[in-house]
Amino acid sequence: MGNKALQQLNDAVQVVLQRARQQVLAQMGTQLTVAEKTSRKDLVTNVDKSNEHFLVHELRRLDSQAKILGEEGLGDTVTSMSGHVWIVDPIDGTMNFVHQRNHFAMMIGYYIDGVPTLGYIYDVMADRLFAGGPDLGVTVNGNPLPAPADLDLTDGLFGASGPLLIHDRYQMQAIAHASLGPRIMGSAGIQISQVLAGELVGYLSYLRPWDFAAGRVLAETLGLAVSQVDGEPVNMLSSGAVLIATKSAQRAILTIVR
């Protein structure tokens, strides 16, 4: 895909996300239908489902070759990263959405034959849309975003997963202690966007493909490291402990984990 076509697609997806945001905000004033998926801490709402339906429909309109993997299962059954693959999280941080009406995001990642191509993280309530990819650079609300400073773990705040920190999985407590302090938001999208903006030096959590697909595109475009917690490459169609960090922080974290 040429840069002109890619830029046109990038612009169009941002318009779709802005439309989706308006619909989500309108639905927030109505009675939510909330259900448990795997536990009382894993929720889904009518807004998750309606927003995914809208995003899937619009992405198919923009890309007739699309295979779409959505968190709520309203897209396709995707077993390969060949061709055009879109990975969608309609509401990331549903618990926050339900109980705080804040600190949640919409995320879309676009891959062509497994190559990270475009990514979008939209902090809905802050109206902060991170967008772009390796051929276009990264913007926030249309303004170019510079790469964050390559700070070490000891020089920055660290984005932690609450469950991993509480249960000290992957030496999370030692990692948090080595940093200037842990920060927990309950939304992968929000915390990854904070890494992109240089507000955190890293983020580690157990993530599913829709939790990190967009973030991987944007992070790698900005020169950040994205890997499994053991340093191995991520698998875009499987879940696991994923680390997104500055390269200096990643080295420090992998040393602690190992």
Instruction: List domains and CATH numbers for the chain.
Output: 3-144 (3.30.540.10), 153-257 (3.40.190.80)
Buried b (16+ CB within 10 A) or exposed e, 35-62: eeeeeeeebbbebbbbbbebbbebbbee
Block residue for tokens 């939304």: 187
Residue 257 burial (CB count, 10 A)? 18
Lowest mean pLDDT, pick from 54-58, 70-74, 131-135, 205-209: 70-74
Q: Counting Cβ atoms within 10 Å, is residue 30 exposed (0-12), middle (13-18) or buried (19+)?
A: exposed
CA distance linking residue 181 with residue 165, whole number of Å: 12
Q: How confident is the model at residue 254 (pLDDT cuts 50, 70, 90)?
A: very high
CB 107 within 8 A of CB 120: yes
Which tens digit of pLDDT belongs to each residue from 89-108?
Answer: 999 999 999 999 999 999 99
Which tens digit of pLDDT belongs to each residue from 214-253?
Answer: 999 999 999 999 999 999 999 999 999 999 999 999 999 9
CA distance linking residue 11 with residue 94, whole number of Å: 26
Which tens digit of pLDDT belongs to each residue from 195-210?
Answer: 999 999 999 999 999 9
pTM greater than 0.85 (yes/no): yes
Q: What is the mean pLDDT of residues 21-48?
A: 88
